[in-house]
Chains A and B, each alone.
Chain A
């Protein structure tokens, strides 16, 4: 079988504006390095084949599946995880809207949804409900039934445009 035994790589990763030097095997997924090596457990792991969206982070500002990315690929790129969005006493506009609209229950899917829409709402500040649903199709939620997430994203978008209280 596969007798291939490569040496671990020495990497320098930029995550949430901080530089981390670490040694990891080439095959180690970005999602696992974030959680196990850096202790950033806000990035969740559901399916490990790109379908559920729980592991979504930003790579150079754009949403991407951390489970379909190797940490080894990320030298020279900026990674942003949920830990960089808001604080418990100062939620982001989107997090606040999710809270108010009951856009989460267990919260497993929430980090991936927040990361996806933090970027999407910058690209499209005035989405329709259909557009929000199209983007949300990339994030599975087993609890909410999605309606409240759509309402929260639309509310956050309106607030960011200065059109809603």
Chain B
């Protein structure tokens, strides 16, 4: 299991990286944490002629919190996303999800930009980006463009990224409510989840659910938000009956793939259970904690 030959490039600036990617077009691949591309190179599922290492672009390892938005540089490692105090305060859902990615050593290297670009349908960070309505900042030699995460993620490992382009940052709007939860299920601790659920909501003065955002991973080729369920929750009390009804409605709203290892009916039941658990853990957590 050794990679095929490639020429290694180590650009010192974003401009240099973009120029290299432009010159080598589809024969080049960018390398961030290497925690997904590394295995693909070793197994020769990827055989680029040119590898453009982004790890010297330290300006892309950054977190900026402003009044209405959090901007996270593409090269920010999962470990930092999980632990940075300003992120745990402003985007606790994102931090909690990042802390559950793979294993400790993987999180030291893997990056948020790499996770979005890789677009595994079971991955945590794309799910949270879709759930919270994040957008991506994408740079090319002609300039930058912004794409919302739900449009960026097109299918399994297929994204809206053209030859010569790089993700430079993710922008998250500040979540509206203080209730949030990330719940996932995998057969072994640290494996990719079979199904995962992310939610965020507020409660109005009467304790009714307001502005629910509900996202599911592992039930389709891309992470999904479920606007019908979100609308159905609006103004309802956050009690057991409502939660069970929303969880059952979620299970009927999805159409997961049926496979020999994981039947669709199993994924549906997992989704239902995880939605219930997510509401319960959001409500049980002391707000602000």
Q: Please give the residue numbers on chain A whose beta carbons come within 8 Å of chain B beta carbons, in ascending order.
A: 2, 4-6, 9, 25-27, 29, 32, 48-50, 53, 56, 62-65, 67-70, 72-73, 116, 120, 133-135, 137-139
Interface size on B, residues (CB 8 A): 32
Main secondary structure of the interface of B (DSSP, over half): loop
Q: List 19 A-B contacts (CB under 8 A).
A: A2-B49, A4-B6, A5-B5, A6-B6, A6-B7, A26-B51, A29-B3, A48-B39, A49-B39, A65-B35, A65-B106, A68-B35, A72-B8, A73-B31, A73-B53, A116-B104, A137-B188, A137-B189, A138-B190
CA distance A97 to B258 in the complex (A): 47
CA distance A62 to B106 in the complex (A): 11
CA distance A65 to B39 in the complex (A): 11
Q: Which 8 A-B pairs have the closest CB atoms?
A: A138-B103, A68-B38, A49-B39, A26-B8, A63-B105, A137-B190, A137-B189, A6-B7
Q: Is the CB of A138 within 8 A of B102?
A: yes
Q: Is the CB of B3 within 8 A of A69?
A: no
6 other A-B residue contacts (CB within 8 Å) besides A68-B34, A69-B38, A73-B53:
A4-B6, A4-B7, A6-B7, A49-B42, A70-B8, A135-B103
Q: Which residue of A lies closest to B189 (CB)?
A: A137
Q: Which residue of A lies closest to B107 (CB)?
A: A138
CA distance A116 to B79 in the complex (A): 14
The interface residues of chain B lying within 8 Å CB-to-CB of A134 are: 104, 189-190
The interface residues of chain B lying within 8 Å CB-to-CB of A50 are: 35, 38-39, 106
Q: Which residue of B lies closest to A32 (CB)?
A: B2
Q: Select B103's contact among A6, A9, A137, beta carbons within 8 Å.
A: A137
CA distance A95 to B6 in the complex (A): 39
Contact with A along B170-187 (1 / 0, CB 8 A): 000000000000000000
